[in-house]
Amino acid sequence: MSDLFLPDGLTRTDGTLYVESVPLTQVAQQFDTPCYVYSAAAIRNAYREFVEAFAGLDPLICYAVKANGNLSILRLLSQLGSGFDIVSGGELSRVLVAGGDAGKVVFSGVGKSAAEMAQALQAGVHCFNVESAAELHRLSQVASRLGLRAPVSLRVNPDVDAGTHPYIATGLKESKFGVAYADAFALYEEAARLPGLDVTGIDCHIGSQITDLAPFIAALEKTLDLARRLRTSGIPLRHLDLGGGVGIRYRDETPIVLADYARAIAERLQGSGLRLLLEPGRRIIGNAGLLLTRVEYLKTSSDHRFAIVDAAMNDLIRPSLYEAWHEIIPVIERPEASAPLDVVGPVCETGDILARGRHLSVSAGDLLAILSAGAYGASMGSNYNARPRPPEILVDGHTAHLIRRRESVEDLYRNEWPLA
Ligand SMILES: *Cc1c(COP(=O)(O)O)cnc(C)c1O
């Protein structure tokens, strides 16, 4: 067993787990379980870590909204100066409602609709990260129709192996994302001729939860090389966007040191005249949130032991979807148990497993904290099994703010009616 790692914002005082100055027992009492709990200080610290590490490069940091798009979290980041990476018109609306600056928004994604393009053009986004020839043409048409020019970057697929889970690797040749490296140059020439477009940048995003610097450097060198060739051919770019994907510690991973990443980029970007853009999601919010849950039942089947908790795969799908590992610890400290158990939810799926083989000593009624659940937790939540989604709480110092209320069952069928 690796020694326990407590993410920023979490402490254990007199045996009780706290988020900043608020005990999780109090959060459970006030808001019930399951619920998501975030630390505002941890979010600020993670964002500032980027700002400080990259200070010499003056990058535009575009937080990836899909990691966690809660309005209060977007507002907090926007107040710190963050831009945003969006993948839908819905995410753009969230950013704008939260007070985000459209001029600091990059729009990624393989399937942008004409309506989403028009929405983003009218809002005045910083750049469209375009992923195919067909999308370039549609974007040029939509922009021309509106009498506007769309700032574009091509998402180039550098064909590097990020060494991450196949479902979150996006930079390989066979991936649906980006344009093939070999095709990119010709596509840039085409983009430069289209009337509704203003070619401004180049981008890539090679995957997620990457803990090795090498694939980032390989991707940077390939995109930079292309940018230089484009400049020579009369298509000068203004920015280079290296995407997100910087991994975090869930268990015993050794995350990339941001200062090392910044140094590797600075050395190569120097003199290129290109402004750096980054799209971190998980690295900013992943370790700033946890899912608080209560044990409903203990159960033994033949000799397999289960703790059945009130959170489930609909609240946090990462373990089911990616076999992701989340640390789970009791809110009130207990000695470690000798026999392992699986932590499972009430959803009617064998795959509804939050963790396997944990040495947790638990009783029915105990509170558990599922750590590092701030990214791709609440944002991937669903209502499967007619389960209302949990509330979200943002702790800031001594205060626990409710930032999303628990859904009601009526919310779930608000848009339905039994046919007469
Ligand atoms: C998901 C995504 C990100 C953020 O990835 P993280 O691993 O959370 O940093 C950034 N850019 C694009 C295009 C994405 O799809």
- Closest ligand 1 atom to 67 CA: 8
Average pLDDT on 38-59 reads: 97
pLDDT at 32 over 70: yes
Any ligand 1 atom below 6 A from CB of 245: yes
CATH of 108-280, one of 3.30.70.100, 3.40.50.10210, 2.60.40.10, 3.20.20.10: 3.20.20.10
pLDDT of 79-132, one tens digit each? 999 999 999 999 999 999 999 999 999 999 999 999 999 999 999 999 999 999
Run of H or E including 370: strand 367-370
- pLDDT band at 9; cut points 50, 70, 90: very high
Examine domains 10-39+286-412 and 108-280 and report if their fold is the same. no
At 2 the pLDDT is 46
Structural contact between residues 161 and 169, judged by C-beta atoms closer than 8 angstroms: yes
Average pLDDT on 1-13 reads: 83
Structural contact between residues 96 and 73, judged by C-beta atoms closer than 8 angstroms: no
Any ligand 1 atom below 6 A from CB of 282: yes
Q: Ligand 1 mean position to 61 CA, how many Å?
A: 12
pLDDT at 163 over 80: no
Q: Ligand 1 mean position to 266 CA, how many Å?
A: 21
Average pLDDT on 361-383 reads: 98
Would you name the residues annotated as active-site residues? 348
Q: Ligand 1 mean position to 282 CA, how many Å?
A: 8
Residue 415 Cα distances to 66, 246, 411, angstroms: 24, 38, 8
pLDDT at 3 over 90: no
Any ligand 1 atom below 6 A from CB of 196: no
Nearest residue (by CA) to ligand 1, atom 3, is 244
Using DSSP's 3-state secondary structure scheme, residue 159 falls into coil
At 377 the pLDDT is 98
- Closest ligand 1 atom to 246 CA: 9
Q: Ligand 1 mean position to 279 CA, how many Å?
A: 6
Any ligand 1 atom below 6 A from CB of 157: no
Dig out the tokens for 343 from the structure.
Answer: 């932590």
Any ligand 1 atom below 6 A from CB of 108: yes
- Closest ligand 1 atom to 203 CA: 13
Ordered by start, the domain boundaries in the chain are 10-39+286-412, 108-280
Any ligand 1 atom below 6 A from CB of 208: yes
Backbone angles phi, psi at 15, to 5 degrees: 85, -5
Whether the bond into 346 is cis, omega within 30 of 0: no
pLDDT of 286-310, one tens digit each? 999 999 999 999 999 988 999 999 9
At 171 the pLDDT is 67
In this structure, which amino acid lies at residue 419? L
- pLDDT band at 337; cut points 50, 70, 90: confident
Rounded to whole angstroms, the Cα distance separating 113 from 360 reads 48
- pLDDT band at 165; cut points 50, 70, 90: low
Q: Among residues 396, 401, 402, 404, which one has the least CA distance to residue 45? A: 396
Average pLDDT on 271-291 reads: 97
Runs of H (alpha helix) within 38-196: 40-53, 71-79, 89-97, 114-123, 133-145, 181-193
- pLDDT band at 342; cut points 50, 70, 90: very high
Q: What class, spelled out in words, does domain 10-39+286-412 have in CATH?
A: mainly beta
Instruction: Calculate what percentage of the chain has a pLDDT beyond 90.
Output: 92
pLDDT at 411 over 50: yes
pLDDT at 16 over 50: yes
- Closest ligand 1 atom to 208 CA: 7
Q: 169 or 238: which carries more pLDDT confidence?
A: 238
Average pLDDT on 67-82 reads: 98
Q: Ligand 1 mean position to 208 CA, how many Å?
A: 6
Residue 233 Cα distances to 185, 189, 357, angstroms: 10, 9, 58
The residues, ordered by sequence, that sit 6+ positions from 403 with a Cβ below 8 Å of its Cβ are 38, 70, 71, 72, 73, 392, 393, 394
Mean pLDDT of the chain: 96
